[in-house]
Amino acid sequence: MSPLVLSSATLQEVTPATGVFSLIALLIGLPLLGAAVLLLGGRRTNKWGPYLGVLTVGTSAVIAIVMLVKLMALPSESRAIGESLYSWVFAGGFQVDLAFQLDQLSMVFVLLITIVGTLIHIYSLGYMSHDKDKRKFFGYLNLFVAAMLILVLANNFLLLYVGWEGVGLASYLLIGFWQFKPSAAAAAKKAFVINRVGDVGLSLAIMLMFVTFGSVTFSDVFGSASQASEGTLTAIGLLLLLAACGKSAQFPLQAWLLDAMEGPTPVSALIHAATMVTAGVYLIARSNAIFDRAVWAATAVIIVGLITIFMGATIGSAKDDIKKSLAGSTMSQIGYMVLAVGLGPIGYVFAIFHLLTHGVFKAGLFLGAGSVMHGMNDNVNMRRYGALRGAMGITFVTFMAGYLAIIGIPPFAGYWSKDSIVHAAFEKSTLIGVLTIIAAGITGFYMTRMVAMTFFGKARWEDDAHPHESPKVMTIPLIILAIGSTFLGLALLFWGNIKTWLEPVLGLTEAETALPELAIIIITLSVVIIGAIIGWVMYARRAVPIEAPRGSWLTRAARQDLYGDAVNDALVVRPSYHLARVLNWFDSRAVDGFVNGTAAFVGGASGRMRKYQSGFARSYALSMVGGAVIVVLALVLVRL
Amino acid sequence: MNPIAVADKALFEIPPLDYSAIAPILILLGVAVVSVLVEAFAPKRARRPIQLVLVFGALIAAFVDVVTLSGLRTITASGSIAIDGPALVMQGAILILAALGAMLMAERLVDPSGDAFAARASALPGSEDEKQFTARGYFQTEVWPLFLFSVAGMLLFVAASDLLLMFVALEVMSLPLYLLVGMARRRRLLSQEASLKYFLLGAFSSAFFLYGSALIYGFAGSVNFGWIADAVSGKTGQNALLLIGVAMILVGLLFKIAAVPFHQWTPDAYQGAPTAVTAFMSTTVKIAAFGALLRVLYVAFGGLRLDWAPMMWIVAILTMVVGSVIAVTQSDIKRMLAYSSVAQAGFIMVGVIATSAAGLSSVLFYLIAYGFTTIGAFAVISIVRDSSGEATHLSKWSGLGKKSPVTATVVALFMLSFAGIPLTSGFIGKFGVFAAAIDSGATWLVIVAVVASVVSAFFYARVIVIMFFSEPNENTASVVVPSAFTTIVIAAGATVTVVLGILPQPLLDLVNNAGLFLR
């Protein structure tokens, strides 16, 4: 691998916020207020609470769109807007402001979060209409949107960390939303714990940044990154990668995402497909100044991305649970993005491009899966679906749009973004390029399998299943997302000029590839179509058994999430357990002994001193005289 | 100007007074006089409403006046009164806290037999008279003129720039307080005993202060702080007079801030006084007394810093350690808070010792933060009751967290703030004074302070443990529903405690912009 000439992004000048941009705080404040009202208001808000939730996020989306229009009107070099609310932490030389930065990268995230967030809020009105705790659900969703906006709008790593933890909390609460199900409660706990492992990476990275650069604001860290040693930058990069692995369900911290599907489906769509799980990609892309100068860290990013692409695709091919299959697919697609950010300036822009299209079409696919489940008594087993295209037409058509997008058929959205990543991979190395093409073929296979098992073939429904189309409040968001799945790629690439838009923040270089561009496109498309045909033959032409066959060793392993839990157990759980035991021993013997000894000493002293508080005014007066003598002596003796 | 010449010439002249600058004090004194007349002439039924209107009207008017004066920096009354940034900040804080204290004193719903004050202060405890008065539903409203005089004294105390005027202000502030302490409706003997002790020891400390003033006059030929400072820097006069005079004056002031070993009145007075009065005096007197102490040390005796600093170190360390350690074994929450206020005085002294602009502003911040937390804490104590009145014994608080979660949570918040846990005002306050002291080289003092605050965290945390980690039993007190008065005080205390912990910048700006004392 030859080190490329890296022309990273030059640091942009940040201009203070004026006009509509001074509403950045409101953008976050609205959903935060919604969350506060819904969660503190109690049952009083049951009736109108969900609508308030939709309204706050919807208003934020409108503000975001206005900001986009204004931002596009500005010259590209002054599109970084800063807004400082107040000095938040000051300790010694360490000062952090509660300050936001809206630039081209944050802007696209804000749009994704608020618009997709609004659609999913609307969809949830229908999906959760029978749930008696839906007020709480919308409160948590609002909390999530607010935290995610803080994450992408922060202008320093500490505030980003606040958002990072906030989305983790919201994710935990929402996965465990149906906590009466033990599996949901356990899944929530698992997600929380595994994410903590990643969070340790982020907090250590922040500390290391402060030690190295004396500041944690983006501008200071990235501005002086070139002065730090490569060893330090590599360490920071690897720690950031660990954080990204936790949040974005990348190898080896991927196991929680599949269990997280216990949460309500809108949650899976919003948090575990479109937005939160892409936070790791955001973190690495944002820190491009560090990764550009830490070759080994960037290589580690590529390796993690590649491993996860294949792990996710394998799991997606084997699961019979429609949501878990989609979750495997999410892992795999995020693997593409992580791979792309690992490629450096040839890939950053395309990672974000794929992130946006994926956010839309995967949200659509999840909501479609939710719509199917809604009509099938919440059954998630695809072996009990089949032939649903007649029963739920709108869901079918919209799902197909998402399907064509994810496998990458032109002109659907995913084609443009995935093709860009494949192309960038070839720029880096032919081997990586070939691997991404193979993975694209597997994507074609498992998505075709999913579509075939769900919408085609013979009906294998349970006896009490009466599939029906979902209400309008659910299908309209589906239709909007399907339109997005179809046209967003074209729109972003040719109308929105995503490349020149993001280039000032992320940098963009192009390199020669071993194969001509057209050849790569044709090979990729053929591999995808071959994968799809295999899937079609296996799952649409042949009958699908209701009981899952034993399958090959790979299928069995994939059904066990490729033994992710066992790996976690061996790598994290058991060592932590033993460490905890040792620490506990130390704590109870040494620390407690010291503390208890001190406490006993203070208590004894206190009892003795208390006796001097006799209650007699005369002895008090005597003590005052004694004190006066001390004071006089202390003053006079100093002079001597 | 030669002070002797001034004395000759101006003996019988009225000093020029800037009435607008001292208007807040004049408003309170004027309304206090009216309030006395109301007691004498208004019909019994009408007194309470009239007094409440007068008291709150006077406090609000005085506060508005302080706000309009905010840019003013002047010395008036022949150099006796300095209206400067720190004085105005402290006057404003005293007025707000006094208003909150007045709300607690006006509360009539928490005690089934009426308010917190004895029906007739003159009736002997347990006598037939007392029973008669109580049975007839008598209330007394004499507390209000006393309250107003006391607040006026405090406003003057923080602005006095002259030893004699400071003494007068000290007495105007203290004498009504001695009376107020003795007026509890319940446990009257305890209350009267506390009142008498407080009075005797207070008189004793005033004598020290006055004697010190006489000695300083002997040294400097004047009681004015500016002239004293000139005399100190000019090194004219006799050192023995100066040093012993400073010592005597400081004894008087250290008594008021409850520094060890002049603290013994505190637990008795805090416990015996009606809780509303405790809340009022523990916050406002602390601010006023520290204001006077700061002005004396920084303005009059700033040149003697090297002389008084070692003594202040000793007293500060004694105060922090003794206050924290004795509080550990207290079983009555009012007494515990009394010792806690002793320890807190020690922490504030750490900031005083810094003798810098940062020291001054951090002390101001600490005083305000501490004032709001304390008044909120005492307000909560006044609503945790059982059949015998306030349930101040800590054993009666066990399991309160399960019985009344909101109240217990608010108490926990106050305790965390006292202990100086981050995200509460107490943390920012402690951080400020400790940082200022380290900047001025008092690192060892800060180390002692940190150790003492660790010890203090123990007894604050104990309250939380008792409330939340013990089961309620039949002795557990219940929380009565107060009127809007007490609710406002608790809400204000809790809000300020949280807001100053998260968003301290506005108040930090305010105290930093207050600048230094004028001389």
For B263-300, what is each residue's pLDDT tens digit?
999 999 999 999 999 999 999 999 999 999 999 999 99
For residue A167, give the nearest of A111, A248, A77 by alpha carbon. Answer: A248
Chain B partners within 8 Å of A159 (Cβ)? none
Residue with the larger pLDDT of the pair A551 and B382: B382
A27 pLDDT more than 50:
yes
Query: What single-letter DSSP state applies at residue A260?
Result: G
Chain B partners within 8 Å of A603 (Cβ)? 328-329
- Burial code of A566-602, b = ≥16 C-beta within 10 A, e = fewer? ebbeeebeeeeeeeeeeeeeeeeeeeeeeeeeeeeeb
Residue with the larger pLDDT of the pair A470 and B24: B24
Q: Which residues make Cβ contacts (< 8 Å) with residue A408, sequence separation at least 6?
A: A414, A415, A418, A419, A440, A443, A444, A524, A525, A528
| Chain B residues interacting with chain A (CB cutoff of 8 angstroms) | 196-197, 200-201, 204-205, 208, 239-240, 243-244, 246-248, 250-251, 254-255, 260-262, 264-265, 267-268, 306-308, 310-311, 314-315, 322, 325-329, 431, 455, 458, 503, 505
Lowest mean pLDDT among A70-79, A570-579, B171-180: A570-579
Q: How far is B192 from chain A (nearest CA, A)?
A: 13
A395 pLDDT more than 80:
yes
- Res. B161 pLDDT band, cuts 50 70 90: very high
> Residue A396 in contact with residue A389, Cβ under 8 Å?
yes
Three-state secondary-structure class, residue A97 = strand
In a domain, B44, yes or no: no
Would you state the structure tokens that stand for residue A402, as one six-digit string?
A: 């998402």
pLDDT of residue B348: 96
Which range of residues forms the domain containing residue B308?
Answer: 304-514
- pLDDT, tens digit (0-9, with 9 covering 90-100), for A352-379: 999 989 988 998 898 899 888 888 888 8
Q: How far is B405 from chain A (nearest CA, A)?
A: 15
Q: Which helix (H) or strand (E) holds A44?
A: none
Evaluated on CA atoms B232, B238, B243, B246, the torsion sign reads negative
How many of the other CB atoms lie within 10 Å of CB of A44? 10
A296 pLDDT more than 60:
yes
Nearest to A623 among B239, B264, B315 (CB): B264
Tell me the DSSP string of A435-461: HHHHHHHHHHHHHHHHHHHHHSS----
Query: Distance between CA A153 and CA A147 in Å, rounded?
Result: 10
Q: How far is A166 from chain B (nearest CA, A)?
A: 17
Number of Cβ pairs < 8 A linking chain A and chain B: 94
> Pairing between strand A81-91 and A94-102?
antiparallel
User: Which of A633, A635, A638 would best serve as a mutation to test chain B binding (most B beta carbons within 10 A)?
Assistant: A635
User: Which of A90, A624, A630 would best serve as a mutation to test chain B binding (most B beta carbons within 10 A)?
Assistant: A624
Q: Phi and psi at residue B83, in whole multiples of 5°?
A: -100, 95
Three-state secondary-structure class, residue A100 = strand
Nearest to A634 among B197, B311, B327 (CB): B311
Chain A partners within 8 Å of B201 (Cβ)? 617, 620-621, 624
pLDDT of residue A612: 73
Determine, for residues A631 and B455 on separate chains, whether the beta-carbon distance falls below 8 Å: no
- pLDDT, tens digit (0-9, with 9 covering 90-100), for A309-329: 998 888 888 888 888 889 989
Mean pLDDT (whole number) for A243-249: 89
Query: Distance between CA B487 and CA B103 in Å, rounded?
Result: 9
For residue A14, give the nearest of A140, A106, A142, A94 by alpha carbon. Answer: A106
The domain total for chain B is: 1
Calculate the alpha carbon distances from B336 to A116, B479, B496 in Å. 55, 20, 22
Mean pLDDT (whole number) for A88-99: 66
Query: Distance between CA A508 and CA A129 in Å, rounded?
Result: 46
In a domain, B168, yes or no: no
- What value does the mean pLDDT of chain B take? 91
- pLDDT, tens digit (0-9, with 9 covering 90-100), for A431-477: 888 899 999 999 999 899 888 888 888 878 777 778 888 888 888 88
Q: Is B310 exposed, middle or buried (0-12, 13-18, 19+ CB in 10 A)?
A: middle
pLDDT of residue A283: 92
- pLDDT, tens digit (0-9, with 9 covering 90-100), for B397-451: 998 988 888 899 999 999 999 998 888 999 889 989 998 998 888 889 999 999 8
Determine, for residues B326 and A609 on separate chains, whether the beta-carbon distance falls below 8 Å: yes
In a domain, B500, yes or no: yes
* Domain boundaries along the sequence of chain A: 14-214+250-277, 294-549, 570-639
Chain A partners within 8 Å of B329 (Cβ)? 603, 606-607, 610
Chain B partners within 8 Å of A613 (Cβ)? 264, 267, 326
- What value does the mean pLDDT of chain A take? 84
Query: Distance between CA A609 and CA B321 in Å, rounded?
Result: 11
pLDDT of residue B5: 46
Model-level pTM greater than 0.90? no
pLDDT of residue A87: 66
Residue with the two structure tokens 């590209």: A76
pLDDT of residue A6: 40
In a domain, B444, yes or no: yes
Query: Distance between CA B408 and CA B333 in Å, rounded?
Result: 14
pLDDT of residue A410: 84
Calculate the alpha carbon distances from B366 to A590, B340, B347 in Å. 36, 14, 9
> Residue A464 in contact with residue A548, Cβ under 8 Å?
no
Q: Phi and psi at residue A324, in whole multiples of 5°?
A: -70, -35
Query: Distance between CA A557 and CA B152 in Å, rounded?
Result: 82
Query: Distance between CA A37 and CA A60 in Å, rounded?
Result: 16
User: Which of B200, B219, B264, B270 would best serve as a mutation to test chain A binding (most A beta carbons within 10 A)?
Assistant: B264
In a domain, B165, yes or no: no
